[in-house]
Every structure is written in C-alpha cells, then in structure tokens.
Chains A and B, each alone.
Chain A
Amino acid sequence: MNSYDEIKNQWDKRNVPPTPEKGVEEIIKKFAVILKKQRISQMVLGCTILILIGFFFYISAYSHIQLLLGLSVMIVSLLIRVLIEYGTTIKKAKLPLGSSMAAYNTKLIAYYSARRRIHYYITPILFVSYVLGFVWLLPLFRQNMSSGMYSYILWSSIFIFAVLAVLIGVQIKRELSVLKKLKQ
C-alpha cells in the first residue's frame, strides 16, 4: 500500500456496520431519558435550594449574627457555584453543532475561555468564601458541641475541603487542556 489511490481503495473495502433496524426508536427513547434526567436535575436543584432556605429558618439562623453570617456565606457560595455550573452546562448544550467545524471551534473557544475566567476568578473566591463561612461557624460548634464531635467536624471538613480542592483542580486542568487543544 504505497500511494494514496491504494489507501483510498483500501478505505472503500472496509467493513461497515449495517444501519440498525431499531435505531430511530432507540434514539427517541434515549432522548426521552435525557429529558427526564434534566427534569430530575432541575427538581434536585430546586429541592436543594428549598431545603437550605428551610434549614436556615429551622435553626433560626437570623437570630444569631455569627450563625447568620457563616451560614449565609456558605449557602450563597454553594448556590452561586451550582447555578454557574448549571447555566454553563445549558450554554454548552445550546452551542450550534450544525455550524462548520471552524465556526463551532470558535464558539467552543469562547465557551472554554469564559469557563477559564470563572475558574481563575469566581471559583477561588467562592471556595475561599465557603471555607470562611465554615471558619466563622467554628466557635459556635466549639461552644455547643462535645470536644470529640467538634474535632470530628473540624478534621472531616478539612479533609473534604482538600478533596474538593483537588477535584476542582483536576476539572480545571482538564478544561484548560481542551482549550489549549482547541487553540492549536
């Protein structure tokens, strides 16, 4: 196989899987499953917001300034992060796949550049705010909990924050690699 014509000849002789008979039905069914999953995600997100607000009032967080501040900062940071993720996921799904390769690449570059700005500026601020909110609550935990429980909450939270930081870092690194590849 030396020349391009031979490669082309070889290409034309490849075995190609036949058109699946139930392909259309499978696609329609899969699409329905995707829609259902989207609705479930929206419901979970809505319920999370309601539960957080409910919890806020349940423990009368508004009556204690330190509790109010700490919990509000944590809840708001978390909500902003979740809403940003949700919004950008929808934005990516709406990118026009039917555009030419070059046009789609340009849109993807714009999308990942926006994500990079989020990762560089908003994510660290939100992460630090979340941790600060937790730190604000620590004196209250110490006053109202046994020392064993307090130590458990403190160390398990440090561990969770560390794992979270690593996971966010991995995700950011992956997205930056995609952006780099798109720009090549």
Chain B
Amino acid sequence: MNKKKDFTAIFKTNYPKVIRLCLGYTEGREDLAKDLAQEVFLKVWQSLESFRGDASIGTWIYRITVNVCLQEVRRREVTHLKLDIAADQIISSNEKEQQFTAMYRCIDRLSPENKTIILLELESVPQSEIAEITGISHQAVRTRIHRIKEQLSKCVRNE
C-alpha cells in the first residue's frame, strides 16, 4: 500500500517532465510518447524498491526515461521504422506546426547522445544534473551544449 502511495506521488510529480522528454525523442508523436512514458513508469514501479538514493528521484527518473527512449530510438533505426509525423505536418499550412516539424526534425538528426543533452537543456535541466543523467563530465556537457545549440540553430534556419 505504501509503495502504491509513493508511486502515485512520483507519477503525478514526474509525468509531465517524462512525457515532454519522450515527445522530443518521438518527433512530437503523442501516441508514441505516451507509450514510452508508460514504459518508463512501468520500470519505475518495477525498480522502486531497489532505488538506493544515490541520485535524487528526479534524476533517477530522467535516467530511466533517457535509457528507455534511446532503446526505442535504436529499435526504430535497426528495424528501419520511420515516424510519419513529418508527412502529416508538411501538408499543414499552419506556420506554427511547420516550425514544430522543423524543430523536431533537426533534433532528430542529432546523434543519440547530443539529442539527449539538448532535450534536457531545452527542458531547463541544470547542466550539473545533465552531467549526472548522461554520465558525461560537467565540463564536456557545457562545451557540447554550446556546439549543439549552434548546430540546431543552423539546421532550423535551413529547414
């Protein structure tokens, strides 16, 4: 009963940030992002008792989210599955939607590591926490963020 109570609190507090991050990995596809978010919380429920508190619960959940989403990204790449979001949105004359499409497409072109770093940066996660989540040194994260921001801006301008 206690586990369920703890989990409910964790779920309610963390679901918005998990789904936001998952949307970044799925080029904004809500259905896929929801499935991934459910998978993340399934893993959280499964391993809640083994959580040792080495990192904060938020960081731990971000780590699970990143690892679950990257597995999905790799699965899609290996099975050559393409998301059909681009086709849906290209035909839209809505300028806002086209901007979203361009943004997601440019994020998707980044390497899995860089994608993770910039998605966390876009979520305003502190760089020290990004370093904890990714296992990359704080200094390297800072340098990379600068480079990825330039890469991303350039890509979106050309889209």
A: residues with CB less than 8 A from B are: 1-4, 7-8, 10-11, 14, 16-17, 19-20, 23-24, 26-28, 30-31, 34, 96-104, 174, 177-178, 181-182, 184
Contact = CB atoms under 8 A, between A and B. Distances in A.
B19 A101 contact: no
Given A17-B30, A31-B42, 19 more contacts: A1-B99, A4-B150, A16-B16, A19-B16, A20-B34, A24-B8, A26-B38, A27-B7, A28-B4, A97-B47, A97-B63, A100-B132, A101-B66, A101-B133, A101-B134, A104-B67, A178-B78, A181-B74, A181-B78
Interface in B68-85: 68, 70, 74, 77-79
Interface string B119-144: 00010000000001111100000000
Contact of B63 (A1, A4, A16, A101): A101
A66 B60 CA distance: 58
Contacts, number: 115
Contacts of B68: 97
A28 B8 CA distance: 11
A10 B99 contact: yes
A19 B15 contact: yes
Interface of B: 4, 7-8, 11-12, 15-16, 19-20, 23, 28, 30, 33-34, 38, 41-43, 45-47, 50-51, 60, 63-64, 66-68, 70, 74, 77-79, 99-100, 102-103, 111-113, 116, 122, 132-136, 149-150, 152-153, 156-157
